[in-house]
Chains A and B, each alone.
Chain A
Amino acid sequence: MSAFQDDGPLVQAEPLAGYRDPSLTPIIGPTMTFRTITEKISDIVLEMDTPKWWFGTMLVGLAFTVGLLFAVTVLFFKGIGIWGNNQPVGWAWDITNFVWWIGIGHAGTFISAILFLVKQEWRNSINRFAEAMTIFAVMCAGMFPVLHLGRPWLAYWLFPLPNTMGVWPQFKSPLVWDVFAVSTYFTLSLTYWYLGMVPDLGTLRDRAKKTFQQKLYGFMSLGWRGSSKHWARYETAYLLLAGLCTPLVLSVHSVVSLDFSVGIVPGWHSTIFPPYFVAGAIFSGFALVLTLIIPARRLFGIKELITQRHIDNMGKVMLATGLIVGYSYVEEAFLGLVYPGNKYEHFLIMNRMFGPYAPFYWTLVLCNVITPQFLWWRKIRNNTIVLFILTIVINIGMWLERFEIIAVSLTRDYLPSSWGYFKPTIFDMMTFAGTLGFFLSAMLLFLRGMPMIPMYEEKMLLPASDPHGHAEEGIFLEETEEI
């Protein structure tokens, strides 16, 4: 609490235009005060008895994680052949999962960095949650480039490590760019996430009653005392990191998309990929944030911190990015069908639409183009159950989109003699399901052990944080208590 009594020079946000719209739900519940915010959030970590559903879900998550460990152990002993990859489909579920997970991660960085810079204060209550998701998603993603190697124990050869042989990575390869993009992304995201948590960890340390909690959070809060100097340096660092993370949102998935654009495989070799992949990433990332946050806010009773307003806003972001993704599909089809400069491209589109994997294509069109159209309606955006289902459908669609691009393009490229098919094995499925389980377990641990909502940032949303000039909103909040 002491932290907020010596308020430093905060970056004062201009309220959103929409914030003034009385018809909109506020971004923080009316009963919230400095005290209740702190209690609400820190009690989940420090005081709450671990609920039964948490154990149940954790068990599921861990079971799948064990499956992952088993699959990976077999993989290390036997080789990639336990998967369904073949000639010509060198990449299938492995890289599909990689791209999908990386995409998932984008929502966190987008929310915490870009929305921070553009002063979208509503993101304050969801950014940590989304960032945690980013960290775990990138962990899941990061497994695949290593696991998919024929000789995974040599993965470090992709790093430019000085060695006596004088051998370097081949810098023209997009896979090397990937290494830099993803590792930078993970490092910065982790730093940004952790840095953002330090003041709250200090709060937890101060409020903790059990010794191990005191020691744990005391260690983790890195000696945070909440002095004005701390706050001043902290705010500067946070702003700088936000600035550093912002280009990463655009660059990481652009670089990932270059894995394909640089290739000459029809279906890969396309200049549209970087923006298309970034939009798709944010699309699927927001969908997963919603998938997780909708049950979490109910289960932890934090609807006043993550309000309908957040849900609504995220729905709008999904609609916007979904439209970009849909446009990209139209663009690809147009280039292949209506503007056939290239027979291979023409064949590719025909093959996607009517070939052996056509059901996948039409499913992904249904999931990624038709489904987001429902988000035009506020009613649907505000119906958490429908929205929850939509987000799952969208993420299935996004996974299929990556599979369609990566694997289905490979099944039929140039020489008909070398055309093939792909069918996953149980190990493909166990590996993917295992990363889902790992992700779930990690998220549960985070929810249980870390402040899932940034307390101090949340407090900045209170009218009391803004005593000069915006009193009317404070009054407004007090008047609409029943919401």
Chain B
Amino acid sequence: MNEEPIGMMQTPNIELPVLNGEGKPSSFEIHASSSLREKEGAKRYWQSVEELADSPELDAYVRREYPSQTSVLIDPVNRRSFMKLMGASLGLAGLASCTVQPKEDILPYVTQPSEIIPGKPLYFATTMPRSGGGIGLLVRSNMGRPTKVEGNPDHPASLGATDMYAQGSILQLYDPDRSQAILHMGDIGDWGGFSSEMAGRAGLMTSSKGQGVRFLTESMTSPSFIAMMQGILTANPQAKWHQFEPARGNGEITALGAQAAPQYRFDIADRVLSLDSDFMMAADQNATSVRYARDWAERRKVSASSTDMSRFYAVETSFSPTGANADNRLGVRPSDFEGFVGALAAALGVPGASGTTSTPRQKEYLDAIASDLLAMKGRSIVIAGGWQTPYVHAMAYQINLALGNVGQTVFYSTPVEASPTDHLASITELAQDMEAGTVDALVILGGVNPVYSAPADLNFASAMKKVGYIIHHGLYYDETAMLSHWHIPAAHFLESWDDCRSHDGTASIIQPLIAPLYQGKTASEVLATLTKNPGSTAYEIVKAYWTGGSKSTDVENTWRRSLNDGLVQNSAATPGTATPAASTAAPSITPAKGFDIVFRPDLTIYDGRYANNGWLQEIPKPISTLTWDNAAIVSKATAEKLNLHVTLQFEGGEYNSDIVQIEVDGHSVNAPVWIAPGQPDDTITLYLGYGRERAGRVGDGLGFNAGSIRTTKNYWFATGAKVVKKGQSYPLAGTQIHFTMEDRDPVRAINFPDFKKDLNYVHEKDGHDWLREPSKEDSFFPAYKYNGYAWGMVIDLNSCIGCNACMIACVSENNIPVVGKSQVLRSREMHWIRIDRYYTGAADDPETYFQPVPCMQCEEAPCELVCPVDATAHSAEGLNDMTYNRCVGTRFCSNNCPYKVRRFNFLLYQDWTTPQFKMMRNPDVSVRSRGVMEKCTYCVQRIQEAKIQSEKENRRVRDGDIITACEAACPTDAIVFGDINDPTSRVARLKSDSRNYALLADLNTHPRTTYLGVVRNPNPAIKRIIDPTLSPEAQTV
């Protein structure tokens, strides 16, 4: 059974439309069974499954393994579409119905399940397990189909908000490319066969005390899983548990030890210094970014009565979204970074710290930051990026200690993860042991994909060949699964019974929203096959852990309460109870001649696990707005030095980007370049997660694999890289091609001291057209009176961090199609809400502004006037409604929209055939066909739902009854929606704020969506660089 696979066999393609329109139709390949090889003697390809089934050996094998359902298995694969699988499952259910099935209740959040009313959604609390902790969610279930993810307001890591990955998880659940069958040596196997084989293996393991048995998982916070794993490890002391996540930093654990993990209180910090941290984005703080962004923004809310404002410094090696929100930001190349940090630590009184700054600019920042932080002792936070070196983490801790922040704004607690590990060391040890032949069996749980993501020098794929027995459990039949003996499809967390802890220790039960679509199993279920209770279901495992098998009413009530709430009450740990063990480390980056490399998890597809997620692929990267690709990010000066060009093409969204070869320590990769402002010179940032070969039809072959030059030595940073221009170019697809404001001032910003002097700054600026906002009374005709509701929205640009959560939430709520790279190249992306970003200032010292732009719902809407068929019309509540059925597609409305928020189905973008996607869609929103214009309507379906409810209860809609999808997702509460006719509503109060202004108000459109201007608080001691090459207009803000 452990012979080397002898070649791929091609099954007929599953005839499902390719999601992105881009990916080559891939077939999933499976290994030939040995029986087949014996028959043909050499490499052989299937022409069809029927042909395969002709093999008597195989036939016999299948019958032996799967006696009752042979016919289902040998069906042609193109008929094995989802509904057929459902049919098969029902057939199995029918057979199984002779035995009494265990009762597994899940509980709705608010409404009892008995109240299911067709057409009415229910919300269930569950939790998305993430690296370092879970994020609490409320998932909308429409007739048993999870369709939308919202944050759980009670959950500490969410507070009601979510992020890109949580929103995108819905698409991942229904992904038709997810692995759909248990595979054994490439053949379809079954759970029964696997379990029985595991029983034998468990016996072997026990007899050898686990000698040669290795487990590989991601970081785990699931208490029930940990308990089971520790049980196995205790019983088999020779077995080892490895953990590996490619996006997981190892600096902190190396510097501070495994006993303590930090938590930050951004909501009370007056000064924040980020040392290369991207704490607002899940790519860095995977479990806490939503909470941290909320806290940070909370502290930054300003109003006329504010007397002070927090200040945020970012010193970083790449241009991160978090850095883009900083009051003062400095780009420092990795070679200089530790020196800068050391010098800063010394200036802040850290004993024994030393370092040097390399440029006068760094010195200027250092002096200003140091004096500012010293003046704010105990009220600041210094946070180091997860990917930073042990030295930087040690220094950050020391600085926090020296400033008295520890215990005030920074707390250390016992980590919520089981046995926190240096992931790099762990995977290295595993790979070396595998190479040395001391690993007999490897159990990979939870979708770890080391063949793709382990450091290149470990040669994990070849090491795997030396392991006799490999079990892979994951959502996809990926690069690692291909080389494993068993592949068990994992249940998605929305299909799973599981549990996890959040960053502060709060435990929550993960309850499934739907039965596994593809017979997936949870990690616990797979692991349980090696325990004394091999047949345990995930439900039994989780419930047994939390109830201890007790049947008492109290315990049962607590269990039900926990399911209902989405968390176990009072399970959070007390912060500040742990102390980091070690706190010193030496600088580890050796400056070398050449270029510095920074490796980062991708901002939208993370470490590659979301590579097959079209929503996340098409969401523009927060800084570059690139989609569907990664690029080598370089600064303008570096590009000039290397004569690299990124040339805008005339298609609309297409850049022609020069390809460079990047070589470091003998590994090289070719990458298209992207020139970003704010990137330190001679530094190249490479995003991981692309270049997947086995991601699925959407993710295969996109971008380049930065991991191919990432080694154990050059894990997050590399120095001395050689960069050679290759003379070829590559098309990159961006969603925004112009980044200066051109004197139109869509974003109005001011510094805090000036704001205090000029509260009305968004309206008062000499020589600007937006001064001339026409009054409604100027019209020849009397203005329309909105007597009932008047829906409006305010977006606080001071809070928007550009995280894209609103965009994906909108995609999910409104059934927005994915159009694929070829269409983004032609500037045809469909997002109803987009995030514009503008830069002012110099290319190496840019000030960045993010501006979410949904439909403005103009009271005098230019689009409505020009529609020849009345397909877009105004409602009595001020909504600019679209009647999709009536639209003939002249596109005049879009031409006439000054905000360009309308989106046109130039082709049939919507996937009408894939059954999984039919289940995924929001039934309350029309699915648009080609040739139809579409746009944001403030989630009119939610408005209607709330209105119907209020009419039944004979009352007006209350403020907060209607939360639009973007508003709900926003981690920073930047978006507020409500009735502006109700003077007590949040939105009405914000509209009376002095910072409230309308975009392009001079056009007499009277938009219902307005913005609150930006207020920043840069340190006056740091001078801005003004770039003479930018037009004077671009620098006025």
B930: contacting residue among A79, A410, A423, CB under 8 A: A79
Q: Is the CB of B898 within 8 A of A415?
A: yes
The complex places the Cα of A381 from the Cα of B90 at a distance, in Å, of 85
Given A78-B907, A264-B1003, A421-B649: A169 and B896 within 8 A (CB)?
no
Interface check A80, CB cutoff 8 A? yes
The answer to whether the Cβ of B452 comes within 8 Å of any Cβ in the partner chain is no
Q: A150-B933, A151-B887 are in contact. Are A85 and B869 (CB under 8 A)?
A: no
A149/B738 contact (C-beta < 8 A), A264-B896, A413-B900, A420-B652 known: no
- Find out whether the CB atom of A158 lies under 8 angstroms from the CB atom of B907: no
In the docked arrangement, what's the CA distance between A84 and B907, Å?
12
Complex partner residue of A263 from B653, B866, B930, CB under 8 angstroms: B866
> What residues of B have a CB within 8 angstroms of the CB of A158 in the complex?
868-869, 888
Chain A nearest CB: distance from B340 CB in Å?
34
CA–CA, A123 and B999, complex, Å: 55
A88 surroundings in chain B (CB, below 8 A): 827, 894-895, 900
Q: Mark B369-398, 1 if CB is under 8 A from A, else 0.
A: 000000000000000000000000000000
B743 within 8 A of A: yes
B853 touches A81 (CB 8 A): no
Q: Residue B789 at the A interface, CB < 8 A?
A: no
Contact with A along B434-478 (1 / 0, CB 8 A): 000000000000000000000000000000000000000000000
Interface of B is mostly: loop
In the complex, chain A residues whose CB is within 8 Å of the CB of B887: 150-151
Residue-wise, chain A 399-421 has the 8 Å CB interface mask toward B (1 for contact) of 00000000000100111111111
Does chain A have a CB within 8 A of B742?
Answer: yes
Taking the closest CB of chain A, its distance from the CB of B907, in whole angstroms, is 4
Q: Does B541 have its Cβ within 8 Å of any Cβ on chain A?
A: no
**Using a CB-CB cutoff of 8 Å, which residues 126-180 of chain A contact chain B?**
148-152, 154-155, 157-158, 167-170, 172-176, 179
Partner of A90, one of B648, B650, B742, B904: B904
Interface flag for B769 (CB, 8 Å): yes
Q: A167 contacts which chain B residues (CB < 8 A)? A: 869-870, 886
For residue B1014, give the distance in angstroms from its CB to the closest CB of chain A. 15
Contact for A169 among B739, B742, B851, B869, CB less than 8 A: B869
How many angstroms between the C-alpha atoms of A90 and B891 in the bound complex?
A: 6
Contact pick for A172, options B828, B865, B929, CB 8 Å: B865
Those of B787-834 within 8 Å (CB) of chain A: 823, 826-829, 834
Q: Which residues of A contact B889 (CB under 8 A)?
A: 80, 149-151
Q: Residues of B contacting A410 with CB < 8 Å?
A: 895
Task: Determine the chain A residues whose CB is within 8 A of the CB of B906 once the complex forms.
Answer: 79-81, 85-86, 150
B241 at the interface (CB under 8 A from A): no
Partner of B862 from the list A80, A263, A418 (CB cut-off 8 Å) is: A263
B836 at the interface (CB under 8 A from A): yes
- Knowing A84-B651, A88-B894, A151-B931 touch, does A174 contact B866 (C-beta < 8 A)? yes
- Contact call B769/A414, Cβ cutoff below 8 A: no
| A89 adjacent to chain B (CB < 8 Å) | yes
- Taken together as a complex, chains A and B put the C-alpha atoms of A87 and B905 apart, in Å, by 11
Set A79, A90, A343, A417: member contacting B895, Cβ < 8 A: A90
* Binary per-residue interface labels of chain A (3-22) against chain B in the complex, 1 for a CB within 8 Å, 0 otherwise: 00000000000000000000
Q: How far is the CA of A417 from the CA of B933 in the complex (A)?
A: 20
Chain B 615-671 interface residues, beta-carbon cutoff 8 Å to A: 648-653
Residue of A whose beta carbon sits closest to that of B899: A415
* Distance between Cα atoms of A344 and B745 in the complex (Å): 12
B932 on the A face (CB < 8 A) = yes
A423 CA / B865 CA spacing, docked (Å): 28
Answer whether A81 and B907 are a contact pair too, CB < 8 Å, given A158-B888, A414-B898: yes
Is there contact, CB below 8 Å, between A416 and B738? Answer: yes
Q: Are B900 and A81 in contact (CB under 8 A)?
A: no
B317 within 8 A of A: no
Q: Chain B contact residues (Cβ within 8 angstroms of A): what range?
A: 35 or more
Contact call B931/A262, Cβ cutoff below 8 A: no
Q: Are A175 and B892 within 8 A (Cβ)? A: yes
**CB-based contact A416/B826 at 8 Å:** no
Do A415 and B828 have beta carbons less than 8 Å apart? no
Task: Assess the B826–A148 pair: CB atoms within 8 A.
Answer: no
Q: How far is the CA of A152 from the CA of B650 in the complex (A)?
A: 27
Does B496 make an interface contact (CB < 8 A)?
A: no
Contact across chains for A420 and B868 when beta carbons are under 8 A apart: no
Question: Per-residue 0/1 for A304-345: is the Cβ within 8 Å of any B Cβ (1 yes, 0 no)?
Answer: 000000000000000000000000000000000000001110
Assess whether B868 is in contact with A342, with CB atoms less than 8 Å apart. no
A262, B888: Cβ atoms closer than 8 Å = no
A90-113 interface (Cβ within 8 A of B): 90-91
- Interface residues in A27-57 by Cβ distance below 8 A to B read none
Bound together, the chains give a CA A225 to CA B746 distance in angstroms of: 73
Please report which residues of chain A, range 226-266, place their CB below 8 angstroms from some CB of chain B when the two chains form the complex: 259, 262-265
| A168 vs B899: C-alpha distance when bound (angstroms) | 28
Q: Is A185 among interface residues, defined by CB-CB distance under 8 A? A: no
Note all chain A residues with C-beta closer than 8 A to B651. 84, 86, 421, 423
Closest chain A residue to B898 by CB distance? A414
Quick one: which of A82, A173, A262, A418 has the most chain B CB within 10 A? Answer: A418
Bound together, the chains give a CA A262 to CA B892 distance in angstroms of 11
Does A361 lie at the interface of the complex (its beta carbon under 8 Å from any beta carbon of B)?
Answer: no
Which chain A residues lie closer than 8 Å to B892 at the CB level?
90-91, 173, 175, 259, 263
Shortest beta-carbon distance, B113 to chain A, in Å?
40
Judge whether A347 is part of the interface by a CB distance below 8 angstroms.
Answer: yes
> Cβ of A149 and Cβ of B652 under 8 Å apart?
no
Chain A residue nearest to B903 in the complex (CB) = A87
Roughly how many angstroms separate A452 CA and B852 CA in the complex, as a whole number?
62
Q: Kindly state the separation between the CA atoms of A174 and B900 in the bound complex, as whole angstroms.
A: 20
Q: Give the contacts of A174-215 with B (CB-CB under 8 A).
A: 174-176, 179
Which residues, 722 to 758 on B, are CB-close (under 8 Å) to A?
736-744, 746
A358 to chain B, nearest CB (A): 13
A422 proximal to B (CB < 8 A): yes
CA of A410 to CA of B827 in the docked complex: distance in angstroms? 13
Partner of A419, one of B737, B837, B870, B894: B737
Asked if A415 and B1000 make an inter-chain contact with CB atoms under 8 angstroms apart, the answer reads yes
Find chain A residues with CB under 8 A from B907 CB: 78-82
In the bound assembly, the distance between CA atoms of A289 and B886 in angstroms comes to 41
When the two chains form their complex, are residues A89 and B652 in contact, meaning their CB atoms are under 8 A apart? Answer: yes
- A286-313 vs B, Cβ < 8 Å mask (1 yes, 0 no): 0000000000000000000000000000
Chain B proximity of A51: nearest CB distance (Å):
43
Closest Cβ of chain B to A150, distance in Å, is 2
Docked complex Cα distance between A454 and B700 (Å): 68
Q: In the complex the two chains form, is B740's CB within 8 Å of A148's CB?
A: no
A415 to B900, CA, bound (A): 8
Instruction: Tell me how far the C-beta of B649 lies from the nearest C-beta in chain A, rounded to whole angstroms.
Output: 7
Which residues of A are found within 8 Å of B648, using beta-carbon distances?
421
CB of A343 within 8 A of CB of B868, answer no
The minimal Cβ–Cβ distance linking A361 to chain B, given in whole angstroms, is 16
Interface membership of chain A positions 417-441, coded 1 if the CB is closer than 8 angstroms to chain B and 0 otherwise: 1111111000000000000000000
Q: How far is the CA of A420 from the CA of B887 in the complex (A)?
A: 24
Interface assignment of B838: CB less than 8 Å from any CB of chain A: yes
With A89-B652, A150-B931, A170-B868 in contact, is A157–B888 under 8 Å at CB? yes
Q: How far is the CB of B238 from chain A (nearest CB, A)?
A: 60
> Cβ of A82: which chain B residues have Cβ within 8 Å of it?
907
**Quick check: B867 and A423 within 8 Å, CB to CB?**
no
B890 close to chain A: CB less than 8 A: yes
CB distance from B826 to the nearest CB of A (A): 5
Chain A residues in 8 Å Cβ range of B740: 416
B908 contacts partner chain A, Cβ-Cβ < 8 Å: yes
Distance of A87 Cα from B650 Cα, bound (Å):
13
Contact A150 B888 (CB under 8 A): yes
In the complex, which of the residues B823, B890, B1003 contacts A149, with contact meaning CB atoms closer than 8 Å? B890
Can you name 5 extra interface pairs (CB under 8 A) apart from A158-B888, A262-B865?
Answer: A79-B931, A87-B828, A157-B888, A417-B746, A423-B652
Q: List 7 A-B contacts (CB under 8 A).
A: A80-B891, A157-B886, A157-B888, A167-B886, A417-B836, A418-B836, A421-B737
Closest 6 CB pairs between A and B? A150-B889, A150-B931, A90-B891, A81-B906, A81-B907, A417-B836
